[in-house]
Amino acid sequence: MSKVNLYDTIISPVITEKSSNMSSQNKVVFKVRDDANKKTLKKNIEKLFKVNVVKVNIINKKSILKFTRGRNSRVKGYKKAVITLKKGQSIDLTTGI
């Protein structure tokens, strides 16, 4: 795999209060492409960040309808991955990908 393919599967890190609290449990959350799967995510993250991945959990967030300003609008869904790292390892999200 080339470097371009490694970066293509990960869209962005998810930085919320809940995901920040998960970092104490050696977990990192990324927003990923819709066609990403666990095996390729594990390989790509191990190569990009040089860490050992223990487990990968994938969550599909479905799109929803919201009523805003008198109109229905659709909020697009996305796929996110919760990556569990080996104890003692971490990924610094402030440096960027």
Give the predicted TM-score (pTM) of the model.
0.83
Checking if the pLDDT of 1 tops 70, the result is no
CA 50-34-12 angle, to 5 degrees, is 45
Architecture of domain 3-89: 2-Layer Sandwich (3.30)
In percent, the amount of the chain with pLDDT more than 90 equals: 73
Neighbour tally for 13: CB within 10 Å: 16
Mean pLDDT over each residue of the chain, to the nearest integer = 89
Residues 78-93: tens digit of each pLDDT: 999 999 999 999 888 7
Residues 63-77: tens digit of each pLDDT: 999 998 899 999 999
